[in-house]
Structure 1
Amino acid sequence: MQETTDHRRTVRNAAIGGAFLMAMSAVGPGFLTQTATFTQREGANFGFAILMCIIVDVIVQLNIWRVIIVSGKRAQMIANDVFPGLGYFLSLLVAIGGLFFNIGNVAGAGLGLNVLFGIPTIWGAVISAVAAVLILVMKNALKAVDRTVQVLAVIAVLVLLYTLAIMKIPYGTAISHTFMPTKVNFYSILTIVGGTVGGYISFAGGHRLLEGGAQGTKDLGAVNLGALSGIGLASVIRIVLFLTGLAVVLGGATLDAANPAATIFKVAAGTFGYKFFGLLLFAAGMSSVIGSTFTSISFLDYTSRKNENTDHNRHYKMAITIGFIAFATLIFCFVGQPATVLVVVGAINGFILPIALGILLVASHKTKIMGAGYHHPAWLTWTGWLVVIFMAYAGINTVLNLL
């Protein structure tokens, strides 16, 4: 009895940790940049893309978290069970997407420190990278990750709520165009969905919950708790940022192309608002560096869960973690200008999403993977395949328009 109670408590804590990790990974510097950029271009119509993002988020996260936890395996190992070698292909896609996103994540954290304290952005990025490495290689890394991301989430929400409170928000315009847009831009939908639920982000919470000990149908309650809590937190941040940006754009301000999100906060609250932006950007950057690295590394680990705590595996993870963050930091230091990269990589992750989700939907109906007693909910299956088709169509449509 005590063992069952302890397991439930442990899994519940892991679900909450997974919720925050997923949510804060989804609203990193890439999301800030993408939202500001597309709000400038599309105005209130961008609300429709935000709405689509939230709906897709619910469908994708519930599908992926359930398959991972019920099967008791990481996504890449599930993919290998679906078709030999498919997991290595999925790992490559997710890791590359996570690596390029980390360039912008590290840069965002560095820029946040630059805004707050005047530290050169490159040195701010290096400091942030070192801090992320120290958190991820600690002996009790999972607990450190959870606590860090939770604190950063509280900071982000408070900053955004303050900005919302001092702005005159055009709620009527936002609501009408969100549900009845005058124009639909598939590139913006592909990019914002890819940047907030594509690539590694889809798996961040599920892999965190699996690492926390959840496995089997008995832990489906934790899946619902973690996934829906994370989606709720991410959605609040998305909506508030969009509304604030819309108020600034409709007020006649032109956003700085090099750092569009900064303009929103500077116009909203002057120098004080700009400092708040620095705090938000640092929180978003650090949490996304941690989330991207944790999840990408989990895709590069093909050991069984029984052996994952051996000295060899810990050293392997430590080396990969340091290399993953160091590479992204060096690329930023020598290349710089991550704003365009963040938007483009969001679109790339949008292409990864239908592939990854399609693989796990196939797995959800294989008895050898899910077990004889499990039946995947029909509504998740059908809506999941609709998302696969919609995101594939959006991707093809985007490519054709760019040609």
Structure 2
Amino acid sequence: MKENQTAKKRSPLSVAMGAAFMMAMAAVGPGFLTQTATFTGKMGADFGFAILICIIVDVVVQLNIWRIIVVSGKRAQVLANEVVPGLGYLLTALIVIGGFFFNIGNVGGAGLGLNVLFGISPENGALIAAAAAIVIFLVKNAMLVVDRSVQFLAVIKVCILIYILAVSTVPIQPAIVHTFMPTNVNFYSIVTIVGGTVGGYISFSGGHRLLEGGVHGQENIKYVKEGALTGITIASIIRIMLFLAGLAVVMAGHKLDPANPAASIFKDAAGQFGYKFFGLLLLAAGMTSTLGSTFTSVSFLDYTVNQSSENKYLRFRSWLIVAFIVASTAIFYFIGNPAKVLVFVGALNGLILPIALAILLVAATKEKIMGATYRHPRWLLITGWIVVAFMAYAGVRALLTMQF
């Protein structure tokens, strides 16, 4: 699938930056806000260790997956089918189902943001956010508009968190000490935060975005590095800032509201003004993640391998995008706030991650898939398999603790 002729004029670097922001902002949506606030409230400074592990895993996963997808020029589900026939359909099911449930929380989060800002009911706010997302996807040069929208909303997120940290007493020393020497290692928190920020559809959003922009082949590896590392840096900065803001509130003696722990951070730090800022942050997080989850989930339904089949798929893609957003919005509208679902689906995506990464690591070693001249870097293969083993182990430990 390619972008239209106007979008094709964009440089590979511009497309890579669009992919970087899409990945980063998909990783710090309403689910991440909820998960980070929940575990910071429960674990305090020890949750910094989970953030550290998340960043390390993020680097390994994104550099591996982006590189394999771009060099092969094939989407993850097509690669999986070439590894084992039919495996791509299983991967699609896992990714799309996880992305769909996350999207319920995404549009719901945007709706709740509008509720905080303007007093609109969360359900009606979700309808407005969903309509805006559909318009963004259906306008001319849609992916350029998506990229610019995500970048603008990213700036809003960072500015809000800078303000909250500025008015808080940030416990830097305890945060650093417990990040590297935790007194309590909670595997459920690790699986959940990794799954919510780099698991499921999120780990594929950047690579698939690059293919959408026509960036593929070994000659574009440098854009993979630049895009992936930029996205990881942006997402990591926002993760750390939110963790520090939550830790400042917790260590000041405030107890986070379990019904809405993320809102508690902002309200306790800056009063009603901070609460309004939380609404804006939640709106931005919901919109960016809605765009990211919709684009990536729908891209997993594309199995085209030639121009003819691609043209047929393009006729239906807009309808698939609309259906994905409408269905997830309808579930939120009639069922309500899926805050608990966001934490659970984050853990589910954490369990999916080792499966998805293992499939692509196998693909990276097959000459018929990657080409006769390509050799995947050994350090990426080794660290990739270490992440597979660690996340599989952490996932089993999380399941055995019965915390789901």
- Considering the TM-score relative to the shorter chain, is it more than 0.5? yes
Read off the aligned partner of 2:92 and give its amino acid letter. Answer: S
Name the counterpart of 1:304: 305
Shift of 1:315: 3.1
**Aligned positions of 1:313-392 closer than 5 A:** 313-392=313-392
**Aligned positions of 1:12-161 closer than 5 A:** 12-161=13-162
Unaligned runs of 5+ residues in structure 1 are 1-5
**Is 2:259 aligned against 1:258?**
yes
**Contact kept? 1:113, 1:119, Cα under 8 Å:** yes
* Structure-2 separation of matches of 1:303 and 1:7: 19
**Aligned positions of 1:93-242 closer than 5 A:** 93-242=94-243
Name the counterpart of 1:3: none
Shift of 1:401: 1.1
**Is 2:296 aligned against 1:295?**
yes
- When structure 1 is superposed on structure 2, of 238-247 and 313-322 the one drifting more is 313-322
The C-alpha deviation readout for 1:244-290, integer Å capped at 9, x for no partner, is 00000111111111111000000111111001000100000000000
Name the counterpart of 1:275: 276
Shift of 1:313: 2.6
**Contact kept? 2:81, 2:89, Cα under 8 Å:** yes
Name the counterpart of 1:400: 400
* Structure-1 separation of matches of 2:169 and 2:235: 23
**Contact kept? 1:10, 1:212, Cα under 8 Å:** no
Shift of 1:10: 1.9
Shift of 1:306: 3.0
Shift of 1:319: 1.1
Name the counterpart of 2:4: none
- When structure 1 is superposed on structure 2, of 236-245 and 209-218 the one drifting more is 209-218
Q: 1:307 to 1:13 in 2, by over 3 A?
A: farther
Classify the secondary structure of the residue corresponding to 2:304: coil
Q: 1:322 to 1:42 in 2, by over 3 A?
A: same
* Structure-1 separation of matches of 2:281 and 2:144: 22
- When structure 1 is superposed on structure 2, of 132-141 and 170-179 the one drifting more is 132-141
Read off the aligned partner of 1:56 and give its amino acid letter. Answer: V
Read off the aligned partner of 1:102 and give its amino acid letter. Answer: N
Read off the aligned partner of 1:329 and give its amino acid letter. Answer: T
The C-alpha deviation readout for 1:326-380, integer Å capped at 9, x for no partner, is 1111111111121101100000000110000000000001000111111111110
**Contact kept? 1:10, 1:213, Cα under 8 Å:** no
Shift of 1:236: 0.4
* Structure-2 separation of matches of 1:15 and 1:149: 13
Shift of 1:195: 0.2
Matched residue pairs, number?
397
Classify the secondary structure of the residue corresponding to 2:374: coil
* Structure-1 separation of matches of 2:57 and 2:308: 35
Name the counterpart of 2:3: none
Shift of 1:8: 9.7
* Structure-2 separation of matches of 1:40 and 1:118: 27
Q: 1:161 to 1:14 in 2, by over 3 A?
A: same
Shift of 1:9: 5.5
* Structure-2 separation of matches of 1:314 and 1:212: 15
* Structure-1 separation of matches of 2:337 and 2:205: 26
* Structure-2 separation of matches of 1:216 and 1:366: 16
**Contact kept? 2:96, 2:300, Cα under 8 Å:** yes
Classify the secondary structure of the residue corresponding to 1:402: coil
Shift of 1:38: 0.1
- When structure 1 is superposed on structure 2, of 296-305 and 78-87 the one drifting more is 296-305
Read off the aligned partner of 2:243 and give its amino acid letter. Answer: F
Read off the aligned partner of 2:219 and give its amino acid letter. Answer: K
